[in-house]
Amino acid sequence: MKSNRLSWFWALRKPLKLQNVIKKSQESATLQTGESHLSSFLDAASASKQDSRIQRVYEEVLSSSQLRVSLQDVLPVTVVAVERYLAEIPPASNLPQPPASASPPRPAPLPSYCYDVTITDGMCQEKCHLAHEQNFLLHKNILQSGSQVKITQCSYMYNEKKLACGFLCIESLEIVGMCETPNRQKEYSEKLIMPLKGGKKHYLPLWNNEDPYGDMWVQNRVLEEATVNVAKLISLSHLETSWRGKINYQPLLVRILHKSRLRYYGKPYAKADIPYQAYFEVADNSGMMSMVLWNSLCPEWYNIMKVGTVLLIEKYAVKTSYPFKTLPTPGDSQMKRFATIEINLNVRDPPTKINIIPEKMVKPEWNLPDVKYRFITRSELDSLPTSHSCDIIGLVRFVGRAERTRKREHGEDFWIHRWAHVVDGTSEQPFILELFATSQPDIFEHIHPMTYLVCTQMRVVRDVSQNASSTLYLTTSNESQMFVTGWHKGQPYAKDTKVKSFIQWIKTQREADHMEKTAIGGYYPFPPAPHTFVKYCNNNKVESVLTTISEMEKEIENLHYREHKRIAIQGIISVIRYVSCSSRTEDSSGPSNSHTAVKNTDISNDGVKKGERRHHQDKEDDSLLSSQYASPQEQYNPSIVTRKNPVKRKLEMSDASESEESEGTVHDSWQSDLWTRVKDNLKERFHYSNAFPESIPRKFDYMHKEFLMEQYNLHPAQHKPKEYKTKKAVNEFKSADYFGQYEVTILGINHDVAIDVAFLPVHSPEDLHIFYSENIQNDTLLSHMSWVPTFPVLFVLHTICVWLLDEIIKAAIDLERQHVICILDICHLAEDKVEVFLNKIYKIVEDNMMNQT
């Protein structure tokens, strides 16, 4: 009976699931005659199937009376894809109902998501559902495409509404590492299959909702020949005045002038199968109007409808415009905008017919407007007002890592963004760009130094209360488009005068001169926190502006992969340590404790008592000081700080053992008198002062371009063979002038908890506008800490200029025992790596500050 049951099960499996088995069997079949060949093929397939670890798991779980098994001594399988989709919510009747008199009504639940994981054992490829309890592994990017895992518990779940339909559910697994030979693994190539659970029709991108993902998104299509009968067309101006009371409208002939990013509007309780929409601004010779692409037409047409494309549209709907949508700024200021109505394209009611007219077939007598732009140069930017719309072109000097920002507190939806610096030869200053994903993932992931970048419909961001050069940057809008080298051919902006001027300038440049100024990735402390805490509060949208140091652990626990967050804590600056680049920062590419919460009764991951760890750390602090500060007069004495003669230090450093180097050498330190009294009685001390290799900007290297881009993009949903031969780790690449960091200990205002955080200094005035803003110079302490003089490298590595250190000490002493507000940038890099950097210090001196919290 068992044999029959399993035979029935495998007979119903899709042939695709055993495609690798069949292919392998075909390769091993050597007989060429029909009957002998078939017999050999089936025997090989049967033998291969018997060797499949995935099949053995199926056999065990289907043989179980509970359809659930715990597995032991299993061999690992490789994850080739991780895919996400919207989860359903229970019917309203199954949810607890509030009393009839209760008010206000319960808000709609925030969307949550399910994950399917495709695994392979080299012979068989199978898609499984990941149990909800294991979702955190994906939120932290612990489980990822390319991971090797051992499935330790799984179950089988039938779909009770379909015949012979079910799937494997992974309830527990052990991650044993990454695939050691990724080039030998099959690339994930399975065609689009609907999600396993909940009846959804498509998958979402893994890290956001705005990017197209999967094979349903058509990239190219054969254009049908369309006949344009001008006599039957209707103009946009005529449509606006005559649309009411009609169901059928005459055809439209228009050109696309602007294109928005995709909007996913799926809700757990919504019925739409493909809930997408995208706005376009289209125009004819009478003016411009909004056009909306809906639902299943988005995968079919969104990627094909480009700025400049000419469309012949038939069977469309007309509706009153949505009042809250964003609108692009037209390149032609004289163009009339018809804002009261919008054209709606859908698969039904009525079924829209769309034809694309090739540019070579467009006739001059149609009088379709050209696409016009609003390009500016960097020299013109300083005079532009806030929210001004513009387009830019330039050479990328710096591009940061891709990070994510939560759309709603406690939600699972994120924006993806990164920072970039672009130069165009008209100014010493670069364009500073905040680039959000624009539904162009192939372009967004290929922004790298030395590429030519075009960004359209950018908005000027300026804080009028601050120095313009310190806070002036451009950010993408809903209608922004981006293009990099390799994507410029055929774009309408190629004819623009300022684009041509940039091309002429770039021809006069030496590549080497720009290459030496490039950087990629790392922590980027922009935009700067406002000058005043009052303004910081006004700009902050969270319920409570201040976070306690004890609450930080929960905040960090809740971070998702590459999520960036800025928080404010109260505290007392108690210890400042300078650590050279020979420290654990650059040697932390291996397994590392990214953070440690010190509690007297807890045990850390490496088995060392955290109380002992704290005691060791405090002894290290003591050893760095030649004496304690007892009075203000003594505190100003430079000899109190641990500081050695530069020549003597250089000799000692050269004789130091490798083990001492790898642990890090603290050269200069200060601690307050208060700290020496309370540090042994702390309830908790959190260590987040690591600057990981991923935290340090790296010099760009063309030879390893693909590797560097992969490191600073988000991890892909699907496993692909690597296209590079780089064998170096990221910390082996030259850093962008990184010589060390500060570790700052912030004591809680109740003197019972403390946190260690990092601060990255800038090493020359030339770099100041690249990695730190001038805004920091308003903080006396951070201003001194943020700059290391450009002496010869060996000297910079082993000492800080005496006068500079004295200034740091004086600034720190001015803050001793003072309650301050520290703005911290926190980011979850992956797995257990969390970086925490000090961005700003506010003194609590403002009259109305108390009312802001």
Residue with more model confidence, 93 or 509:
509
Helix (H) or strand (E) holding 455: strand 452-461
Whole-number Å distance between alpha carbons of 54 and 532: 59
Q: Is the pLDDT of residue 44 over 50?
A: no
pLDDT of residue 5: 46
Compute the average pLDDT of residues 253-267. Answer: 96
Architecture of the domain spanning 230-366 = Beta Barrel (2.40)
| Distance of alpha carbon 602 from the chain centroid | 33
Residue 852 DSSP one-character state: G
Do 119 and 167 form a contact (C-beta atoms < 8 A)?
Answer: no
Compute the average pLDDT of residues 487-498. Answer: 96
User: What residues contact residue 536 under an 8 Å CB cut-off, 6+ apart?
Assistant: 529, 530, 545, 568, 823, 842
Tokens representing 241 are 């005045």
Residue with more model confidence, 793 or 509:
509
* CA quadruple 712, 714, 717, 720: dihedral, nearest 10: -10
Residue with more model confidence, 460 or 808:
460
Secondary structure (3-state) at 122: coil
Which residue matches tokens 């930080």? Answer: 552
Long-range contacts of 203-206 (CB under 8 A, 24+ apart): 203/83, 203/84, 203/85, 203/116, 204/84, 204/85, 204/86, 204/113, 204/264, 205/84, 205/441, 205/717, 206/82, 206/83, 206/84, 206/714, 206/716, 206/717
Do 20 and 123 form a contact (C-beta atoms < 8 A)?
Answer: yes
Do 134 and 170 form a contact (C-beta atoms < 8 A)?
Answer: yes
Q: Is the pLDDT of residue 414 over 90?
A: yes
pLDDT above 90: percentage of residues in the chain: 56
Which residue matches tokens 């109505």? Answer: 341
pLDDT of residue 620: 38
Whose CA is closest to 276, among 205, 337, 355?
Answer: 205
Q: What are the residue boundaries of the structural domains of the chain, listed by start?
A: 2-89+110-184, 230-366, 378-520, 545-574+671-692+741-753+813-833, 625-664
The secondary structure of 615-672 as a DSSP string is HHHHHHHHHTBSS---SHHHHT-GGGB----HHHHHHHHHH--HHHHHH--EEEEEE-
Compute the average pLDDT of residues 205-229. Answer: 92
Lowest mean pLDDT among 19-23, 143-147, 354-358: 19-23
The secondary structure of 295-340 as a DSSP string is TTHHHHHTTT--TT-EEEEES-EEEEPPTT---PPPSSTT--EEEE
Lowest mean pLDDT among 32-46, 96-110, 530-544: 32-46
Backbone angles phi, psi at 30, to 5 degrees: -110, -15
Looking at every residue in the chain, the average pLDDT score rounds to 79
pLDDT of residue 659: 32
Instruction: Output the CA torsion sign for 99, 100, 103, 105.
Output: positive
pLDDT, tens only, 720-751: 878 788 888 998 999 887 778 889 999 999 99
Q: Is the pLDDT of residue 222 over 90?
A: no
pLDDT, tens only, 750-769: 999 999 999 987 644 344 44
Q: Is the pLDDT of residue 21 over 50?
A: no
Give the model's confidence band at 440: pLDDT under 50 very low, under 70 low, under 90 confident, else very high.
very high
Helix (H) or strand (E) holding 119: strand 113-120
Q: Helix/strand/coil (H, E, C) string of 192-248? A: CCCCCCCCCCCCECCCCCCCCCCCCCCCCCCCCCCCCCHHHCCCHHHHHHHCCCCCC
Q: Is the pLDDT of residue 240 over 90?
A: yes
Q: Is the pLDDT of residue 175 over 60?
A: yes
Q: Helix/strand/coil (H, E, C) string of 698-754? A: ECCCHHHHHHHHHHHCCCCCECCCCCCCCCCCHHHCCECCCCEEEEEEEECCCCCEE
Compute the average pLDDT of residues 288-314. Answer: 97
pLDDT, tens only, 105-119: 566 678 899 999 999
pLDDT of residue 846: 54
pLDDT of residue 101: 53
What does DSSP say about strands 252-259 and 276-284: parallel, antiparallel, or unpaired? Answer: antiparallel
pLDDT, tens only, 339-365: 999 999 999 888 999 999 999 999 999
- CATH class, domain 378-520, is mainly beta
Angle, to 10 degrees, between the axis of helix 2-12 and the axis of helix 53-63?
130
pLDDT, tens only, 558-617: 999 999 999 999 999 999 988 876 654 444 444 444 444 433 333 233 333 333 333 334
Task: State yes or no: cis peptide before 104, omega within 30 of 0.
Answer: yes
Whole-number Å distance between alpha carbons of 569 and 767: 28
Q: Is the pLDDT of residue 695 over 80?
A: yes
What does DSSP say about strands 125-130 and 166-178: parallel, antiparallel, or unpaired? Answer: parallel
pLDDT of residue 191: 52
Whole-number Å distance between alpha carbons of 545 and 590: 36
Q: Helix/strand/coil (H, E, C) string of 16-60? A: HHHHHHHHHHHHHCCCCCHHHHHHHHHHHHHHHHHCCHHHHHHHH
pLDDT of residue 666: 46
What does DSSP say about strands 77-86 and 147-158: parallel, antiparallel, or unpaired? Answer: antiparallel
The yes-or-no answer to whether 2-89+110-184 and 378-520 have a common fold is yes
Q: How far is CA 756 from CA 312, 522, 572, 635, 785, in A?
A: 62, 20, 12, 22, 16
Do 213 and 205 form a contact (C-beta atoms < 8 A)?
Answer: yes
pLDDT of residue 805: 65
Give the model's confidence band at 35: pLDDT under 50 very low, under 70 low, under 90 confident, else very high.
very low
pLDDT of residue 189: 53
pLDDT of residue 165: 83
Tokens representing 401 are 């890592």
Residue with more model confidence, 534 or 189:
534
Q: Which CATH code, of 2.60.40.10, 3.40.50.720, 2.60.120.20, 2.40.50.140, is assigned to 2-89+110-184? A: 2.40.50.140
pLDDT of residue 138: 96
